[in-house]
Amino acid sequence: MCCSHSFDDRKPQVVAEAMNLDIIKGMKFFDPHVHMSSRTTDDYQAMADAGIVALIEPAFWLGQPRTGIDSFRDYYSSLVGWERFRSSQFGIKHYCTIGLNSREANNERLAEEVMELLPLFIYKEGVVGIGEIGFDDQTAAEDKYYRMQLELAKEAGLPIQIHTPHRDKKKGTQRSMDIAIEHGIDPKMVIIDHNNEETVKEVLDRGFWAAFTIYPFTKMGNERMVELAKLYGPERIMINSAADWGISDPLAVPKTAALMKLKGISDEDIKMITYSNAITAFAQSGQIDENDFITPLSVDQTEKFAGNTVLRGGQQPRTDKSSIIIS
Amino acid sequence: MFDYDAERFRVLITELTRSNVTEETWHWLSEKFLAPETSAVNSAFAMMPRKTGKLPIAINHELWVEIEKLKPGFTLEGWTIDRIGRLCLLLHLDPTDKEKYVKTIENLFLAAEVNELVALYSSLPLFAWPELWLMRCAEGVRSNIGLVLEAIMYKNPYPISYLDEKAWNQLILKAFFTGKDLNKISGIDERANAELASTLVDFAHERWAANRKINPHLWRLTSKFIDDDLLTDLKRLFGEGSLRDRQAAALTAYQSDSVLAKNLLKSYPELLKAIENKELNWSSLTPEE
């Protein structure tokens, strides 16, 4: 989930590294947090070109509050339906996490109805966790629905993807972990998201997964991320783009991998941080089969071309962007 | 309530499902048959692949033949165990409470992901109260997801029996727009109609004007409605078209009752001969070159 940007945050970059992803050519990436519903087909093509083979789209706040239960149903349904199909057309395997986000937990009347709706979605194929849930303002209502969803995750045996607040981040992060432990959740089932230098140590020490969002201006920059990777190593650490309707970058994962490589981090460590750790964490749902994206097949392709991977990398026709002719 | 022997059908699908799942899964699933509350059906429907896996069904020839005989036009081709498990669950819903029955299934449609939609739409011809699923079927045709469209269009006897002309024509137009294999659509030739033929001809002219290819199967739906304009189109196909276009024009003329079209075909004796020798037919014509 993003926040509103203030212009003060938008410091111009002093030194621009030329964008060159050649050094990570052939590497595969998994972006475990990206809101594709808010992105374009150009993004999908660029992501596939940069080596992203699979992603997780957490259910989130759409930028303005929903006013009725049907909007939630249609949104969840699009995460397992249309968006999944759209992604498959570019050769990217699409998973999602389903949950009631913290902001909208504050509309209690609606939140009650959403809680009734969730069981209809969390058992569906490719739903790899409950998420993104947690705290925003840290209100009593947020606390209530966070706890209810922890119980739901426990019952369904699903991992939990936790959004940590922008404001009062350190305490909000600690509180999220305390409550999870209180509910008897195993820390290895919990991915704490949007970490920074201030929160990561405690998250790792307590046995949780630590995810970092590489997001311009408001969250982590990737130079800071490289330093953290050097300091903490690759164990239980993963990065994501959390790209959404704000100024964000769906190529944050491959770009950061390239920067890590430039700064001398080993290929094995890069692979753990940008690919395998996310799979290990979310595959605890029983809903991720790595074979699905090692030899990518779109939904249509499995039917039509039965095992033939000639169309590797997606079947959508490309437009020639270097030409002014549109045919 | 049903337009086929649903009781016998349910027995056979139940037998088929049971033979494709473990004892443990069977125990889990058969318990859901008795559950009166909708929430149990909802979660069992969603959870099916976790319990059954997604392998293709194993079935002996006799059972296959008997099942397909009970519902002409229906096929088990391409069915996986999770899909048959879902159908089995749906066939055990009590259809006597019409309102509840329809609402339960309709709610599954509303929250369905792709594989669930495929299971639901390919089961359309097997539901109780067949006349009540017309809007649902027409809604499915509006989908842009290939597998969903194919579940409705390919070897599914529901649309041909229940869609009205307008909805049927939408289905066929959608099939052309989305590049579907027309040979797999049940009833395609039987339900040809003047309205559809005229829309398809407009579509063909539009494609010609834009210098784009036309699926030659389009012409088969015009053969009963040959007028002067269509005759001009056939001449154009014979004169300027690719081999496939000329084959399509020949088949169209051959099937038509128009003397002028039949005379036109006589000018292309090698194509006429190929049709008469059964070397050339619509199935031997592929949409893409």
Binary contact (B46, A123; C-beta < 8 A): yes
How high does pLDDT run on average in chain A? Answer: 88
Q: Would A311 be classed as within a structural domain?
A: no
Res B289: pLDDT: 52
Residue A82 covered by a domain: yes
Cβ-defined contact of B49 to A80 (cutoff 8 Å)? no
Contact A85 B42 (CB under 8 A): no
pLDDT in tens, B198-214: 999 999 998 998 888 89
CA distance B258 to chain A (A): 38
> Does some domain include residue A279?
yes
State the average pLDDT over residues A262-282: 97
pLDDT for the residue A302 = 39
Q: Is residue A4 part of a domain?
A: no
Q: Which two tokens stand for residue B230?
A: 């269509």
**Do A120 and B111 lie within an 8 Å CB cutoff?**
yes
A120·B46 Cβ contact <8 A: yes
For A75, which residue in chain B has the nearest alpha carbon? B111
pLDDT on residue B144: 85
Q: Which of B196, B195, B239 is nearest to B217 (CA)?
A: B196
Answer yes or no: is A317 within a domain.
Answer: no
A15: in domain = no
CA B250 to CA B241: how far, in whole Å?
12
Residue among B77, B108, B113, B213 with most chain A CBs within 10 A, to mutate: B113
What's the average model confidence in pLDDT over A175-194?
98
Q: Which domain holds residue A73?
A: 25-305
Q: Where residue A113 falls among pLDDT bands split at 50, 70, 90? A: very high
A77, A96, A116, A120: which to substitute to probe chain B, counting the most B Cβ within 10 Å?
A120
Question: Which whole number is the average pLDDT over A137-163?
Answer: 96
Inside any domain, residue A169: yes
Domain count, chain A: 1
pLDDT over 80 at A74, yes or no: yes
ipTM score: 0.72
| CA–CA separation, A182 and A306 (whole Å) | 48
Please give, rounded to a whole number of angstroms, the shortest distance from the CA of A288 to a CA of chain B: 12
Q: What is the pLDDT of residue B152?
A: 97
Contact A85 B39 (CB under 8 A): no
pLDDT of residue A314: 45
What residue has token string 């909007």? A71
The DSSP bridge pattern shows strands A209-213 and A52-58 to be unpaired
Mean pLDDT to the nearest integer, A302-314: 37
Which range (A152-156, A311-315, B139-143, B163-167) has the least confidence? A311-315
Q: What pLDDT does residue A63 have?
A: 87
Is the Cβ of A114 closer than 8 Å to some Cβ of chain B? Answer: no
Tally of CB atoms within 10 A around A227: 12
Residue-wise pLDDT for B52-85, tens only, equals 999 999 999 999 999 999 999 999 999 999 999 9
Q: Is A305 on the interface with B (CB under 8 A)?
A: no
pLDDT tens across B229-281, in order? 999 999 999 999 999 999 999 999 999 999 999 999 999 999 999 999 999 99
Q: A228-267: per-residue pLDDT in tens?
A: 999 999 999 999 999 999 999 999 999 999 999 999 999 9
User: Could you read off the pLDDT of B74-132 as tens digits, one per residue?
Assistant: 999 999 999 999 999 999 999 999 999 999 999 999 999 999 999 999 999 999 999 99
> Is A119's Cβ below 8 Å from some Cβ in B?
yes
List the beta bridge partners of residue A133.
A162
Is the pLDDT at A156 greater than 70, yes or no? yes
A316: burial class by Cβ within 10 Å (0-12, 13-18, 19+)? middle
For residue A217, what is the domain's CATH number?
3.20.20.140
Residue A238 lies in a domain: yes
**pLDDT over 60 at A6, yes or no:** no
Distances, alpha carbon A213 to alpha carbons A46, A133, A227, A256, B47, in Å? 19, 16, 14, 11, 32
**Cα distance from A73 to chain B (closest Cα, Å)?**
7
Tell whether A78 lies on the interface with B, counting CB pairs under 8 A. no
Distance CA A73, CA B57 (A): 32
Whole-angstrom Cα distance, residue A252 to residue A239?
Answer: 9
Torsion angles phi and psi, residue B98, rounded to 5 = -50, -50
Chain B residues with CB-CB distance to A299 below 8 A: 114, 145-147
- Do A124 and B50 count as a contact with CB atoms less than 8 A apart? no
- Cα–Cα distance, A111 to A105 (Å, whole number): 5
A123 closest CB neighbour out of B47, B145, B146: B47
**List of chain A residues whose C-beta atoms are within 8 Å of the C-beta of residue B112:** 77, 81
Contact B111 A123 (CB under 8 A): no
On whether the CB atoms of residues A213 and A31 are closer than 8 A, the answer is no
Distance CA A118, CA A77 (A): 11
